Amino acid sequence: MSAIKTSVPTGTWVADKAHSRVEFAIKHMGIATVRGSFGEFAGTLEIDESGARAFGTVEVASITTGEEARDNHLKSADFFDVENIPQILFESTSIEALDDEEFRITGNLTMHGITKEIVLHAEYQGTDIDPWGGTRIGLEVTGQINRSDWDMKFNQVLGSGNLMVADKVKLEIDVSAVKQEA
């Protein structure tokens, strides 16, 4: 864990799937943005006096872009190869407070059988007590990756010179996490 001083309360925080989302956006044909999400995921943030650690998993088969044929293609060996590599994994290697509410999260993203370091930006949205007495925090996490870094190179050059599928993928993760009682 890396030392961190922040306004985020210490504890172990687990993502509430009903109030969280894991989404991405990518350019299609250079002119339109396709957005998608993963419905099955888990995430944990641990913060104590010595530092912070974040980790999570995504079940790739839960991908949805609103178009079944595209979703099935994304699950195929051309992209995620869900049959052989069913999960995306993330584990932080450092979390650096930029100020009381913003953080730089560096970590290892394992996708398509390849592990690469990525950097994410997180913004703390606050803390509150839910109607059931649970303590919650909100986080908005963003980042960007190049899918080719994970050997996802399927593409087609169009007559205009644009690529069918861009390399750059924007990541957006909104988390409502519940503090776990000891």
Task: Extract the tokens encoding 49.
Answer: 């006096």
| Residue 51 near residue 2 (C-beta atoms within 8 A) | yes
The DSSP 8-state label assigned to residue 68 in this structure reads: H
pLDDT at 124: 93
**Where do the domains of the chain lie, and which CATH numbers do they carry?**
11-179 (2.40.128.110)
What SS3 state is found at 88?
A: strand
Residue corresponding to tokens 């890396």: 2
Task: Extract the tokens encoding 125.
Answer: 């949205």
Q: Whole-angstrom distance between the N-terminal and C-terminal Cα of the chain?
A: 20
pLDDT at 163: 63
What's the pLDDT tens digit per position in 50-74?
889 999 999 999 999 999 999 999 9
Structure confidence at residue 3 as a pLDDT band (50, 70, 90): very low
Mean pLDDT, residues 116-120:
98
Q: Residue 24 corresponds to which amino acid? A: F
Mean pLDDT, residues 91-120:
94
